[in-house]
Every structure is written in C-alpha cells, then in structure tokens.
Amino acid sequence: MIVVGSGAGAMTSAVVAADQGLSVLVVEKSDKFGGTSAISGGGIWIPGNHHFAAKGGKDSHDKALQYILAAGGGKADATKVRAYLEHAPKMIRYLEDKSRVRYAVAEKYPDYYQHLPGALPGGRSLDPELFDTSTLGDELDNLRRPSPSTLLMGRIAWTARDAHVAMARERGWRLKILGLMLRYKLDFKWRRKTKSDRRAGLGSALVCALRASLMDREVPLWLKTDFRELVLEGDRVTGIEVVREGRKMTLTARRGVILGAGGFEQNQALREKYLPQPTQAAWSATPPGNNTGAALEAGLAAGAATDMLDWAWWAPTIPVVGEDKPRGIFAERAFPGAIVVNSLGRRFCNEAQGYLEFGDAMYKDRAATGGGNVPAWCIFDAHFRFNYAMGPLMPAQIMPDGRLRREWLGSVYWKADTLDSLARQIGVDPAGLADTVAKANEYARTGKDADFGRGDSVFDRYYGDVNVKPNPCLAPIRKGPFYAMRMDAGDIGTKGGLLTDAHARVVRPDGSPIEGLYAIGNTSASVMGTAYPGAGATIGPAMTFGYIAAHHIAASA
Ligand code: FAD
C-alpha cells in the first residue's frame, strides 16, 4: 500500500496498515514530514471519545449526528457522517493502545455552533499530550517545525489546555506560564544542544508521535518524493508515478493508494479557478509550496467526482514580515476591546465566532455591508495592547512597542494617537470608524452587542477574559494610542476535494468507487459539509478516514 503525504491522516493510515500486515510506503514531496498537521494545534474533534466518558461526560452518536447534519449546510452525507461517528472513537483508542499517540480531553472547549441541536459545551475536542522529541533521534531534523505562534514566547511547547488558561487569564495563569518557562530553562542537557524545546506540543506532538510509531514498525517514509500521477490498469489504480530527488519512478501498490496530500491552498491558479475572489495563496497559514493540489488533479484525471471546491477552512490571517507564512487569528478575535471593520469602518460580523464563519463573512457579507471586507482591519487601543496578544504582537506588558521589530510598523501593525488619523493611514472611512467605535463602546458598557451578539454564546466566551464584566468579549476602545492590523481572507487548508464514500474510496460522478484509490484529509471533500463543528474537525476526520481506509484495504485482499 502506498500513502501519499505525511500529515496526521496519512501517517495514521500507514500505522494501521502496517499493523494489519501490509507492506507500506509513505511518500512525501517536501524535505520535511508532517505537513500542515505539524504546524497545527493537533486538536481532534471526536464525539463519543473515551477520555470524556472517563470523566463522566455524556455524549451520544445520535446527538452528534443531529449536530453535524444541522451544521453541514446540506453538504454532509449522513452515511459518511455515521461512519465517522462509529470509527472516530475507535481510531483514537486504537492509536493510544498501539502507538505513541496520546491525547487528553479539552473539557471546556465548546462545539462551535452552540445554537444548533446536539451541540455540547465541551468534551468532544481532544488535545495532544506533550511528546518527548528525543525519541526521534536524528529523524527530528526532518520534522516540519511548528510556527512560533503555537509556542509560548515563540519557543516553549505547551498544550492547548495550558494556552487557554493563559489566554483567558484564568486564575493562576501567571504561575502556569512561569512553570512552563522554568521547565524549559531547567532542562540543562537539552538547552546545551538547542534552543528548541525538548518537548513538542499541539500538532508537532501529534506528528512526532506518529512518526515515531512508524519508525517502531519500520515503515519507510521517503522525503523529497513528489507524487505526479496515478497508474491505472483498466479501471483499477495499481500504483503511482513520482519524481524522487529529480528521478522519475513508477511505484507499484498492489493493494491500494491512499492520497493524503492535503488540499490545493498553495496553488494560486487552482485558487483562482475554484475559490471565491479575491484570493491569494500567500494568505494561507499553511506551509508554502506544500499542498498544491497534485492529488486533486490526479484524481480528476482518473475520473473522480469532486465536491465543495469553492470552500476552504477559512481563517483570517495576518501577514508577518520575517515569517514565511501569515498567522491565523483564531482566539484573539474574542478578546475584549478589539473589533474588526471593513473599508467603510463598519463591523460586518461577530468577531468572536468560529474562524470558518468569520472568513466566510469576509466574502459573503460584502454585498450586505457595501464595503470591502477583504482585507478587514482589526482595531484596538492601548489598554488592549497592554493586556492581550494579537497575532505576533505579544501583550505590551511583556513586549512593549519599543521591543517590536521596527519594520513591523506600517507592515504588520499601524499606530496613531487618534482613531481619525489611524483610519486615514489604513484607508478606512474615518467617520464610519468613529461611529462604529462609539457603538462598540456602548455595547461594552451594557454587555450586549446589539448588532452581532458577540459574547452571547459559550463558544464566544471561551477565549473571552473572565475578569471583564458584564461581557468577557466586550471592552471599550478609548485609550490612545490606537492600533490597526490587516486581516486577509486566509485559510488553514482547502475544504473541498475528491468525493469519497464511507470507506474513504474515491468515487466517480455515478457513485461507483475507483478500485484501489482512497483519499483522506483535505485531498477529500470534508465529511463535515460546509461546517467547522468543533476544534479538531479537520484532523479528526483525516485520521479517522485514514484508519478506515487502511482497514478497508487490508480486508479487501
Ligand atoms: P497536510 O497535513 O498538509 O499533509 C499533506 C502532506 O502532503 C504535506 O506534507 C505535503 O507536503 C504532502 N504533499 C502534497 N503534495 C504532495 C505530492 N504531490 N507528493 C507527495 N506529497 C505531497 N485542524 C484541526 O483539526 N485541529 C487543529 O487544532 C488545527 N489547528 C491548526 C492550526 C494552524 C496554525 C493551521 C495552519 C491549521 C490548523 N488546522 C487544524 C488545520 C489542519 O492542520 C489541516 O486541515 C490538516 O492538517 C490537513 O491535513 P492533511 O493531511 O490533509 O494535509
């Protein structure tokens, strides 16, 4: 069996297939393993998982089914969703029993659509435990390193649960940070070797654990091996053509090929062909050059059907001079005292909602607001700047303006003594902005956002500041200097792709499977339809359908 790509779903399928006695080869085009999965939060959304149950949490298959179908915009296929709900809890239990992958439940992380039937206020999202990377030996050099945004102070590994305590400024957050910093500093042996933390967290922990599990099984992973085309004998896929370090090769896969090669977010031409406009590959928070849609195009050439190619896992991003990709803004939009406006200076949605809906609103609500929401502008004041992070700007109490890189002023952030002058600098209507800020300040006083209901839902409040009353997501903007940051209509991967069935087999427009061909992760159209039901709803399905595909291939000798 051949697996194309080395993200979390791909490596899960390789681990499972090896355990089933198959001879497996993983091919990865870049010189690093892990893909976007490696720089992600590594969260997986698994309804009915055993960790939540062990803590007395209550969930049910029917509730989760109802929730996903309600959220999925008519695009979530009930048969596939049922397969997901049946196998996802089995997949994670399997990996924890048989491999080095370890998770803990993020009990307080709410599903993203609290207003929909079947939503839970927490318990379905799992967060990777820290992983000791010394286990990987020299292979650690081949890891796609995490983005600084996913590390404490750009360097120290933490779990999403730790990060939440700090971001929501829960009781004891300073002690928590101090503890993490001390653990890092006191690891003298590792400090002598490198500035990187010995421990990996989040997506890095996940892919390191999977990579180590592949090494345990002696499954080869070929880097710098670029998949180009599928090989077919009659109607059946029997192998792939690759270019390995400049040399063309044909590789035979007697039992099957799993395409886990990500989406097409790094391919500008495909973005222009399929996604809403304007669009830029440079706005994507994914590793530059990795996921350029080769698997999608090969599947199409083999006669595959596709779905939802006009969708991405949207997330607003902020470009950062000096970094190779922009940063996704996931949590910060919920912090009290920052609003996001369009060119008219008007808010266009609830800033604290999920990143997919926020990104969708940047496109969708353009007509309704009459202004350009791409780019949008995040506006905050000196009080916010002192207390909270926004993208690469750590709170000024830790990183004052004087310590920021000089070239960031006017490229990453803009600053002025008055809102009027700030608006003029960034090309936003000053009168519109003044009006919007006056309204937002009144909402902060009453605790009620009459326009978009920001802070009304448990999900919005997850990243709110628990110390801010009456609404943890709302605070006034009134203390100069004032700041602006540009938000682009970015993504964390594309969401549409090859159409698959409940066994992860790629199907043709008539629904018949293409024998020997499977697709998972963002190479396939998401099982979640157009929704992002909860934290981990992209990697959870990637790993689950990787698990399903490996079992199906093993069983169909
Ligand atoms: P990838 O993980 O990108 O793996 C695809 C691999 O295939 C890459 O290594 C690529 O180089 C390789 N490849 C591509 N083309 C070829 C080719 N022609 N030949 C060989 N190899 C090829 N999602 C969650 O569910 N939970 C989270 O917590 C989360 N946090 C995120 C945080 C950030 C900052 C970002 C950017 C994303 C996050 N996401 C999260 C989204 C998630 O990371 C991606 O949707 C997911 O990792 C995609 O998995 P994949 O296997 O489809 O692709």
- The confidence band for 367, taking pLDDT boundaries of 50, 70 and 90, is low
Q: Are 550 and 13 in contact (CB under 8 A)?
A: yes
pLDDT tens figures, 430-451:
999 999 999 999 999 999 999 9
Q: If you measure from the C-alpha of residue 481 to the centroid of ligand 1, how many angstroms do you get, rounded to a whole number? A: 39
Whole-number pLDDT of residue 4: 99
Distance CA 112, CA 410 (A): 34
Is 150 a residue whose pLDDT tops 90? no
CA dist., res. 429 & res. 419, Å (int): 11
- Cα–Cα–Cα angle for 241, 244, 249, rounded to 5 degrees: 35
Per-residue pLDDT of 203-212, as tens digits, reads 999 999 999 9
SS (H, E, C) 391-414: CCECCCCCCCHHHCCHHHECCCEE
Cα–Cα distance measured from residue 75 to residue 357, given in angstroms and rounded to the nearest whole number: 16
- Ligand 1 centroid to residue 35 C-alpha, Å: 5
User: Does ligand 1 come within 6 angstroms of the Cβ of 544?
Assistant: no
What's the CA-to-centroid distance between 334 and ligand 1, angstroms? 25
Closest CA to 203 of 386, 85, 78, 328: 328
| pLDDT for the residue numbered 188 | 95
Q: Average pLDDT in the 405-417 region?
A: 97
| Nearest atom within ligand 1 for CA of residue 263 | 52
Q: What is the 3-state secondary structure (H, E, C) of 84-139?
A: HHHHHHHHHHHHHHHCCCCEEECCCCCCCCCCCCCCCCCCCEEEECCEEHHHHHHH
**Nearest CA, atom 39, ligand 1:** 40
Q: pLDDT value at position 331? A: 93
Question: 536: Cβ below 6 Å to ligand 1?
Answer: yes
Q: Would you say the CB of residue 391 lies under 6 angstroms from ligand 1?
A: no
For the record, the structure tokens of 111 come out as: 């599903």
The distance from CA 209 to its chain's CA centroid, rounded to whole angstroms, is 18
Q: Which residues contact 246 (CB under 8 A, 6 or more apart)?
A: none
* 291 CB near ligand 1 (under 6 Å): yes
The Å distance, Cα 126 to ligand 1 centre, comes to 17
Measured in Å, residue 412 CA sits from the centre of ligand 1 at: 25
Tell me what the mean pLDDT of segment 15-25 comes to.
Answer: 98
pLDDT number for residue 169: 80
Q: pLDDT higher for 154 or 160?
A: 160
Cα–Cα dist 489/51, whole Å: 35
Mean pLDDT of all residues belonging to the chain: 96
Question: pLDDT band at residue 167, thresholds of 50, 70 and 90?
Answer: confident
Question: Does the beta carbon of 354 lie inside 6 Å of ligand 1?
Answer: no
**At residue 547, does pLDDT exceed 60?**
yes
Query: Is the C-beta atom of 522 inside 6 A of ligand 1?
Result: yes
State how far the Cα of 518 lies from the Cα of 10, in Å rounded to an integer.
11
Amino acid identity for residue 422 in this structure: L
Tokens representing residue 530 in the block: 């157009």
Instruction: Return the closest-CA partner of residue 260 out of 31, 541, 515.
Output: 541
HEC sequence for 468-505: CCCCCCCCCCCCCCEEEEEEECCEEEECCEECECCCCE
User: What mean pLDDT do residues 75-97 have?
Assistant: 98
Residue-level pLDDT at 166:
86
User: What backbone phi and psi angles, to 5 degrees, belong to 204?
Assistant: -65, -40
Residue 203 has what DSSP assignment?
A: H
3-class DSSP assignment, residue 514: strand
Ligand 1 nearest-atom number relative to CA 261: 7
The residue written with tokens 């050099």 in the block is 141
* pLDDT value, residue 368: 57
Q: What is the mean pLDDT of residues 191-202?
A: 95
Residue 371 banded pLDDT, cuts 50, 70, 90? low
Sign of the CA dihedral running 343, 348, 350, 353: negative
Please report how the helices 8-19 and 539-555 are oriented relative to each other, as an axis angle in degrees rounded to 10.
30
Q: How far does the centroid of ligand 1 lie from the alpha carbon of residue 184, in Å?
A: 28
C-alpha 44 chain-centroid distance: 10
Report the nearest atom of ligand 1 relative to the CA of 226. Answer: 19
pLDDT above 80 (res 494): yes
Could you tell me if 229 and 300 are in contact, meaning their C-beta atoms sit under 8 angstroms apart? no
Using CA positions, which residue lies closest to atom 35 of ligand 1? 40
CA 34–ligand 1 middle distance (angstroms): 8
Q: What is the pLDDT of residue 370?
A: 62
> For residues 423 and 484, what is the distance between their CA atoms, to the nearest angstrom?
9
Q: pLDDT for 216-263, tens place per residue?
A: 999 999 999 999 999 999 999 999 999 998 999 999 999 999 999 999
Model pLDDT, residue 178:
94
Reading the block at residue 336, the tokens are: 């009290």
Q: Is 267 in the pocket of ligand 1 (CB under 6 A)?
A: no
Is the C-beta atom of 342 inside 6 A of ligand 1? no
pLDDT of residue 153: 85
- For 305-348, the pLDDT digits (tens) are 999 999 999 999 999 999 999 999 999 999 999 999 999 999 99
Q: Percent of the chain having pLDDT more than 70?
A: 99
Vertex 46: Cα angle to 208 and 121 (nearest 5)? 120
Mode of pairing for the β-strands spanning 257-259 and 247-252: unpaired
ipTM more than 0.95?
yes
In the prediction, which pLDDT does 366 show?
59
Q: Rounded distance, CA 228 to CA 410, Å? A: 41
**Cα–Cα distance for residue pair 494/523, rounded to 1 Å:** 8
- d(CA 191, CA 183) in angstroms, rounded, equals 11
Considering only CA atoms, which of 102, 524, 487 is closest in space to residue 295? 524
From the CB of 226, is ligand 1 less than 6 Å away?
yes
| Helix, strand, coil abundance in the chain, percent, nearest 5 | 35, 20, 45
Q: How confident is the model at residue 387 (pLDDT cuts 50, 70, 90)?
A: very high
Mean pLDDT of 153-167: 91
